[in-house]
Structure 1
Amino acid sequence: MTTATFRDRRIVVAAIASTVALGLAACGGDDGSEASVDAPDKLTYLVNAENGNIPPVLEDMAQGVCAEQNEVLPLEISSIPQAELDAQIQLLVGQDALPVMFAAGGTPEEGAKLWEAGKLVDFEKELEELGVLDLIEPGAISTIKNLYGGAFNFLPFQYNVEGIFYNKAYFADNGLDEPQTWDDLMAAAETFAAQGITPFAASGEQGWPITRLLSGYIYRSLGPDALQKVADGEAKLTDPEYVEAAAQIASLGENGYLGENVASLDYDSAQNEFLTGNAAMFYMGTWALTAINDPEQNQIGVDNVGFMPFPAVEGGAGSIDQYPSNVGLPSTFGSGTFTSEVGDWTKCITENFGEMSLRDQNTISGFKVVNDVPGLPPLTQEVQEIIATTSDTVLWMEALFNAKAGQDSSHNAALLVTGEMSPEDFMSMLQTDLDAG
């Protein structure tokens, strides 16, 4: 992108933001209540172009299980690069021209603003009236509420929990049980390191796989609201207990538990370290099941991969069953076009998307799978059971950060674990970003 093009785009986005600010202010309302409803003649859906999973499933549903709904409101999908999605949605809001259905923007804060302006459907209300609210996994609802202003206002077309994938054989060969506490985890890491096995594969190039470990420790030690308190200004990342969490993660690098090349490893390389047996553990979201279930990538065998939650911290306020989770880039319906016909489509999606996504795309969503899907690998079934029994979730490190803090967190995570940046300096940098707004 040339400098001139980038400058022009910034001007356009700034103009859009000004228009949206006026538009949202004019809308008023802060409870997601619906204003007058315009009847659409199509089920228009704006989605990020990078998403190759959701559109094919919806298209199959339109030709199959939802054909009746599609006859009334034909599905019409359009896409836009994710980097441009926020600006496009803001422009459409300012023009009062939101599509019937659309993907969330890049930051949860923008989705929360749309909710406060009364632009989004209250799915807790609408799905209850449609009789299908119980077909949404409680954990997915919890995650969406944590992200988008406390309301169930987006649908979980994708849903992942996060934890530690581990090599069962390495644990069994050393007489190690699945770690229940941080101390247990560190003892296992010491055992593997002594044998020349990298305890944890992690990408320092991406950075966020390291900060996921940091937020995991924060949640277990300080409780599930620890980062919400920071977002609300009730606590600071520079408080001693938060800095201590950063010091614990820094110690992973200091002790050699992340391997010698953590700073230069990208995501795929880190994943490969685990799947080829060079590393004993790999903290990641359950989207990694795609690679784990692929025999060409997984050289240790799918039956040799276990999955465990981030362990408890002794004396901590968090619980081991509070899984970090995310809903990818979720989608929603505009309140201004949510007619009974759109409701019929929504009901059909809720009843069928979970099963069809799992069967056709091998992806897990936050929609319950009512019928058995044959041929699922055991680990995928185990993850499904975890999702089905999880109701209280937490977020990830940068979920409630502003853009600058999110970027600095990921870009400097490797420096934290290589000793080039102290825990105090790392957390101070992020807090400065947050204070700047």
Structure 2
Amino acid sequence: MQPADPPDAADAVDSADSAGAADAADAITRVHHEEWARVVAGLARRFGDLDVAEEAAAEAFAAAAERWPRDGVPPNPGGWVTTTAARKAIDRLRRESQRDAKHQAALMVHDDTPAEPTGPVEDDRLRLVFTCCHPALAMEARVALTLRLLGGLTVGEIARAFLVQETTMAQRITRAKAKIVAAHIPYRVPSACDLRERVTGVLAVVYLVFNEGYLTGAGDDAVRVDLTDEAIRLGRLLRGLLPDDGEVTGLLALMLLTDARRPARVSRTGELVTLDEQDRGAWDRELLAEGRALLEERLMAVAAGGERPGRYQLLAAINLVHTDAPSARDTDWSRVVALYDALACLDPSPIVRLNRAVALAELDGPLVGLAEVDRLGDALEGYHAFHVARADLLRRAGRSAEARTAYDRAIELTGNPAERAHLTRRRDQLVSAGPPTGPR
């Protein structure tokens, strides 16, 4: 009979097991963030089926969650997931006894036939975006499906981006996939003409991915750098493909100018820091300079007789006004309002009008801005930023009880921990709020 391990040895084993499980969990999270889009896109290219690609990738990560805590994290985690996902896809096709060309292609693991030419899009992930943005799909379906397959966002995260219920979004994604099958929409290399036809949907996808990363809608992370970096990477690829497209350049400039403020976006205690309170010395000067250069390039093109600025170019110009100001007090709010007026002509959405109202309050006072905001209540009741804007304007107007109610509603609708902490502090400061103030 073997003697029992001494207590300290048993504790050491338990500690090692716990550390291994934690390392495996961290690795799975990191690889999912870094490799999900690459794995799904590669499988979609290889097997020509989005359902197979997504489900095989999900099964591979599930296998990692089961095996890595026990066997250890492999030396090449991304390669392990990619290989496992391919095997899962092949197993699924075999189980379903699909003897069509797709099944045969899946089994030809060592086929030496030259690969299909990549055409103008050489990156699998970017090709996947254009595939999901096929004109046969409704615009909302294109964006939602691409966010799911490329960004790896949950249905709930995408639903928040669209301001709809999670069940509605799940149905939308399911219908989009069904239409791809019914309409025989292939995963293929877009032609040069396809690129321009689909660019509007692609830009919307990239911008929503960026926004979800810059201020995540749920989870423990205030910012998901993997998503913001991926969106900027895709923006750079798009600009390389379409260097003369003003909106492609505008979107990249917008993301760079916004991401430049990220180092000052969250405090050391994990609280969101609003633009007016940020340490502008902490902003990334290289990103600011790059964004400014891109926007100035577009302005020169417009002055030379090019197309008038579109939505993303105007949003970038608004951001440039903010980043150019040495302090929040020095912001040229009249310029911001004028740019929002131009944007509203192109996109008279409630969210654009909300942002314009916030800027208008800086010129004409909180009551003027509040009157504009309140007109949007029916359209934006479920949108947390609407209640954030109301709470701030009510606080500045000295209407503390109403402000507290608005803060409570905003906190209820906010999934981001840093923003929740910021709003809670603002709400709790209402007891010591001073008299009504004018424009800040």
* Superposed pair shares fold, TM > 0.5: no
Report the structure, 1 or 2, having the larger strand content.
1
TM-score (norm: length of structure 1): 0.27
Q: Which has the higher helix share?
A: 2
Select the structure with the greater relative contact order (CA < 8 A; seq sep ≥ 6).
1
